[in-house]
Amino acid sequence: MFKRSSGVLAHVTSLPSPHGVGTMGRTACEFIDFLADAHQTYWQVLPLGHTGFGDSPYQCFSAAAGNPYLIDMDLLVEYGLLTADEVRSGDFNASPDVADFEQLADTRWPLFRKAYSRVTPEMKAAIADFTEENREWLPDYALFMALKEEKYHHAPVYMWPEKDVRDRRPEALARVTEELRGEIDFRIFLQYIFFKQWNALRAHAKEKGIQIIGDIPIYVSADSSDVWTHPELFKLKSDLSPKLVAGVPPDYYSATGQLWGNPVYNWAAHKKTGYAWWIWRMKSNMALFDVVRLDHFRGFAAYWEVDAAEDTAVNGKWRKGPGMELFRAIEKALGPIPLIAEDLGVQTDEVRELLRASGFPGMRVLIFGFTPDYDNEHLPHNYLPNSIVYTSTHDSQTVCEQIMDICSEPEKQFAYRYLRTSHAEAMGWSAIKCVWASPAHIAMTTLQDLLSLGADARMNTPATIGGKNWRWRVRAEALNPTVATLLGDITKTYMRGYRQEEDSKDNEDENCDF
């Protein structure tokens, strides 16, 4: 399904923007142009969902709703909903280097409400059509957010004081829907704008020959509209708080494991529905992306289940997942779809068999291979063709940080030999060349490794909340023609999707006159 190709991983929030966070506007289009100039095939993003506590794109209020902070403010000016002066008044001292989510929370929402107050009759008709097209999830999500943020002062769903609302009694839902109609419509408006902008951005990517790889977290947040509307699909207490939560046992990232706090699925209940919720979720994501990465693929074979009262993930148990039965149901409903399995970490024969049976490409990461062991599966010469391989990931150290700050001296010397450089400024490029030269079908680099950046540019540290997580941003001047040309030359050298018509043109330009 996948041809020899390459791409760059960079979340939308990390892109340049004058307004404090990367958005789906002009600079995102310019990033797509940059990728096209560099002869890339893929742009990989993190989940686009409406983030909650900690600003993690892997902890969202809905499996379908988009993050309002990704809405481009300049496009709201173009729509006639805001003025340029109004947008500038909300920027304050927006940093070009980090996404300041606290400041965004203070400045964006007054502007969003002002924009909503200026919706035209024509746009109202378009919003009505959008609402009908997304009736499976949108009204419930909008009511959930209105209840959570306006009526219940940001309390999580399992702490809502009105039991009849929490338990979705029809009379109670009718009452609060009428009471919060204005707030519900405002949330629907934001989703209409989000998808309007994302669809335009994706159309630009398609025009430039760039495919977008999305990301589906295996779990949903305990405080989400998904849990509220489908409690039977999760292992919950009667108040909708998690009874059992997900995580992973101690591993490379954490000595006490990772306790995510997401409620685990009641897979028996999913099976009774023919996995209808998962089919809907996959269909929704395939409407947004060209390819989808399944995060924590291991959990579909067996998942780590921990009592919600535990403080760490150490005292958990392995439980059997749905396996191929889920993926057969999805394929029967939707046909073959391009999926990538995130199969990092300690894997068992059961997981390997599930990956083999699914046919999905698995993942390998170069920086995990910097041990004096040439048999390490994360070293490029050992990559399998049916793989998607990375220099590093959004959850790991950058190449430079791993080698310079983390590796032991023997590991560091091994990395120098493998990459054939000991200069920090060249490490990212050397790593890209190694990965691009491998037999893997898809080779990816992070934007940080493309620029040979170190610890200050890390996107996320697993098992931690807050701090610098999810905040890193790139400056516009870093995405320049010189960088695009260098990446394009490497891509051409290792024959990763370099367009044949461009190759022919280059050959004509390079012909010598004797």
C-alpha distances out from residue 253 to 73, 345, 462, 472, Å:
37, 9, 7, 20
| Positions marked catalytic | 295, 342, 395
Distance between CA atoms of residues 19 and 71, nearest Å? 11
Write out the two tokens for 58.
């892997």
Q: What is the DSSP string of 227-243?
A: HHH-GGGB-B-TTS-BS
SS3 448: helix
**Are residues 50 and 106 in contact, defined by beta-carbon separation less than 8 angstroms?**
no
**Are residues 16 and 27 in contact, defined by beta-carbon separation less than 8 angstroms?**
yes
- Edge-to-edge order in the sheet of strand 362-365: 339-341, 291-294, 211-216, 42-44, 5-9, 442-446, 387-390, 362-365
Distance between CA atoms of residues 73 and 421, nearest Å? 43
Helices 481-493, 26-37: inter-axial angle, 10-degree rounding: 40
**Are residues 60 and 51 in contact, defined by beta-carbon separation less than 8 angstroms?**
yes
Helices (H), 294-408: 298-301, 324-334, 349-358, 399-401
